[in-house]
Amino acid sequence: MTRYPNFSIKNSSSSPPNTAEDSPVSLPENKPWLIVGLGNPGKKFNGTRHNVGFMMVDAIAEAEGISINTANFKALIGKGFIGNDPVMLAKPQTFMNASGESVGALVSYYKIPLKQVLVIFDDLDLPFAKLRLLPKGGHGGHNGMRSIIDRLKGSRDFPRLRIGIGRPQGRMDTINYVLRPFNKQEREELEFTFQQGIEAVRILALEGFDKSATYVNSARAIEQLG
């Protein structure tokens, strides 16, 4: 099992938002898909390996015309639709190790079934830029996922989209590696990964988990985008 670094970064305030901008996001009566990208807030973490979940959610938002412009539940949130299906995009702002504070609050407030909660995060054990979509599972040593599982009362029964970041070369420290920005070549490779992820989320929302998993986890995804 991969052990991710345990960052000693202070979490944001746990007090509930009390401004007009931070009022709960109104959503249609049918439950939306909650699509969560994991990362650390702040400019110094932009474009780093540990923030690739944020980057994927930003790519989905741009592709679907959804503005992530509301701050609530310790997250930046955007609401919109994929086809006729409501979705809510979220980027927890608690720092990685406390991601569950945000995700747990969103799931509880909007009463979203766990089968409609997709968490997107970086994975050291997958080759760089590869995707894997799973229906459930453990945290795999990822502290953000550990926090989410804890806040969901130990439930692991929610889908997750893992984005491979590969392993550090030589003796590079894991913390330094995951907090390193992607270089130009890596960013170019990730553009393909993000396009694949956007299509996977569309299939997930419109046609269900099984078809999306077949698309992501098989060579067909490469052929269809190529």
Token representation of residue 63: 């592709």
CA atoms within 13 A on the CB side of 22: 10
Asked whether 165 and 186 are in contact (CB, 8 A), the reply is: no
CA atoms within 13 A on the CB side of 27: 24
For residue range 56-90, list pLDDT tens digits in order: 999 999 999 999 999 999 999 999 999 999 999 99
State the CB neighbour count (10 A cutoff) for residue 117.
Answer: 23
Q: What is the pLDDT of residue 218?
A: 87
DSSP assigned state of 73: T
DSSP H helices in 111-208? 143-151, 174-178, 184-207
Segments of the chain with pLDDT less than 50:
1, 3, 5-21, 28, 226
Q: What is the pLDDT of residue 74?
A: 97
Q: Which residues are catalytic?
A: 50
